[in-house]
Structures are given as C-alpha cells and as structure tokens.
Amino acid sequence: MSKQTQTARKTVKDIAAAKGATPLVMLTAYDAPTAAILDPHCDILLVGDSLGMVVHGLPSTVGVTMEMMILHGQAVMRGSDQAMVVVDMPFGSYETSAEQAFLNAVRIMKETGCQAVKIESGAYAAGQIAHLVERGIPVMGHIGLRPQAINVDGGFRAKGRTGDERDRVVAEARAAADAGAFCIVIEGVAEDLAAAITAEVSCPTIGIGASAACDGQVLVTQDMLGLFDWTPKFVRRYADLREAIDKAAAEYAADVRARRFPGTAETYSLRKQGS
Ligand code: KIV
C-alpha cells in the first residue's frame, strides 16, 4: 500500500486559532496559475461564485451552476498546496433542504478535493449548516449583504442600516455560529455591527466591506488587482492590471501590424538532418 502524504494545507483548527489573533487573509481564486501566485500569501483561497461576474461576465451570481464551481474549484486545487480551499455553494444548490445541501456539498468536495464549502446563510440555513457539519463537511457562513439574494433586496445594498435589519444580521450570525460554521464572512455592514458580531461569535469572522473590526479580510482578487473601471467603495486597488493588459495588448498589436513580431529570437530556424 502506498504511503499517503499528509496534507500541508491549513485546516479548520488553524483558522479557528486565528480568532482575535493575527488577521486571516483570504482572496478569491478561480484558476490554477493565479491560485499558485496567491497561495503562499493566503490562509484561505475562496472559489467564490463571484466568478460568474468577474470571469464569466454574468450580471450577478444567480446564474452560477454547480458545474462552474466544480471546474474552477478543481483548477484552484491544482494550483495551490498550502492554503485552505473553500468552494461556494451556488444559488439553488442548498436552499431546498439539508439533504439537497449535503448531496451537493459532497459532490463539490469529492470532485474538487476542497476542504470546505461556503453557504450564503440567512437564518433559515442553520439546519443545512448543522446537517453538513455533523456529517463531516466544514461550512463557512456568509451573512449581511448576500449577493445571491439581490433580486429580493433590489440590488447590492449594505445591510444593518435599520434596527430591524441589524437584528436580522445578528440573527444570521448567531444561527450560523450555533449551527457549527467554522468561520463567517460578513459582507457590507457598518463597523459597529461587524464589531458586535465578531465579539459575540466564537468562530472567526472575515470581512468584506465590513471594516477592520473582523478577524480577517477578503477581497475579490480581480477587484484588488484593478481589472475593472468601477469597484465598490470598500475595495483597495493594489495594482492596475487593466492598464497593464491594455498597454501590453496595444504594443503587441502594433508590433504584429508593423511586422516587428515575431523577430529572429522568436523564430525557429531549420537545422540540417543528422547535423
Ligand atoms: O463569491 C465571492 O467571491 C464571495 C466573496 C465576496 C466573499 O462570496
């Protein structure tokens, strides 16, 4: 029998240990070469269903399928070897019942090899989370602004502006934590609400547009690399890849049209056979 190599990836224990300690670093990843670049810098790589928008050009995440998540999850697993890889459960893959959530989460884990799944968890999803965790599937919750619910909300709107909404977000956090989520993404809420939730739940919180009061941060990689003209207020751009790609494509096009590319360095020369 061959000796199994132990995984060197971060585990749920490592993530739990970060509560109140050094902030957790999470970025989204959707392909193998980008995952390989991000992997050494991150505790968690999230194969987010934002891929529908930032990779496939969809207007929202609602159209994302299981097949899309699995294909991108496989690529990210191939490109990385130390970060925990978490794959989003797409809209429609878990809401009906705990059984539906379990079967789809098992499929994602078996076909990608990822370590955990993420569920956009309204308070109703506590049953799904508990069912998965009890059966061996680590679940990351996602509360506050839940992009899969934009058609109910009427757009991408920050949450917790009214007392009722604030109570709802706190209830979502409690439900996810009590059901056994190992970590909770808080999206699009004000600092005091993120701070109150982070102080209350025992698992780490990871913020996106939720202030520095969380136990970690996540950004959509394409946003922070500056691939888009418009990004939400909470994004900090660490590069301007849009301009770099535009410039490179323009130079390439000019070289091809002027016959400067390919040059001799990029051209094979004929060698005589036997020499
Ligand atoms: O899909 C995604 O990329 C996400 C992050 C924004 C947290 O859920």
Could you give the 3-state DSSP secondary structure of residue 92? coil
Residue 217 inside a domain? The answer is: yes
CA–CA gap between residue 15 and residue 46 (Å, rounded): 14
Cα 260 to averaged position of ligand 1 atoms, centre (Å): 43
Which stretches within the chain are classed as H helix? 12-17, 32-38, 51-54, 66-79, 98-112, 126-134, 150-153, 163-179, 191-200, 221-224, 241-257
The boundaries of the domain holding residue 161 are: 12-240
CA of 118, closest atom in ligand 1: 8
Supply the pLDDT for residue 274.
64
Whether the full predicted model's pTM is greater than 0.85, yes or no, is yes
Supply the pLDDT for residue 2.
44
* pLDDT tens digits, 204-243: 999 999 999 999 999 999 999 999 999 999 999 999 999 9
Which residue has a Cα nearest atom 8 of ligand 1?
48
Residue 256 inside a domain? The answer is: no
CA–CA gap between residue 38 and residue 218 (Å, rounded): 13
Residue 259 inside a domain? The answer is: no
Do residues 215 and 206 touch, judged by C-beta distance below 8 A?
yes
Count of domains forming the chain: 1
Which residue has a Cα nearest atom 2 of ligand 1?
48
Kindly state if the Cβ of 185 falls inside 6 Å of ligand 1: yes
Percent of the chain with pLDDT over 90: 88
The two tokens of residue 245 are 């790609």
Cα 118 to averaged position of ligand 1 atoms, centre (Å): 9
Residue 225 inside a domain? The answer is: yes
Q: How many other CB atoms sit within 10 Å of the CB of residue 110?
A: 10
Kindly state if the Cβ of 88 falls inside 6 Å of ligand 1: yes
Is residue 95 part of the annotated active site? The answer reads no
* pLDDT tens digits, 14-23: 999 999 999 9
CATH of the domain at 96: 3.20.20.60
Residue 236 inside a domain? The answer is: yes
Burial class (CB in 10 A: 0-12, 13-18, 19+), 180: middle
Ligand 1, residues 55, 142, 159, 189: which to mutate, most atoms within 8 A of Cβ?
Answer: 142
Q: Which member of 67, 111, 120, 187 is catalytic? A: 187
Burial class (CB in 10 A: 0-12, 13-18, 19+), 100: middle
CA of 185, closest atom in ligand 1: 7
CA–CA gap between residue 197 and residue 201 (Å, rounded): 6
Kindly state if the Cβ of 28 falls inside 6 Å of ligand 1: yes
Residue 2 inside a domain? The answer is: no
Kindly state if the Cβ of 49 falls inside 6 Å of ligand 1: yes
Residue 258 inside a domain? The answer is: no
Which residue has a Cα nearest atom 6 of ligand 1?
220
**Mean pLDDT across the stretch 161-165?**
90
Which stretches within 26-84 are classed as H helix? 32-38, 51-54, 66-79
The two tokens of residue 107 are 């499929």
* pLDDT tens digits, 91-141: 999 999 999 999 999 999 999 999 999 999 888 999 999 999 999 999 999
* pLDDT tens digits, 70-101: 999 999 999 999 999 999 999 999 999 999 99
Residue 263 inside a domain? The answer is: no
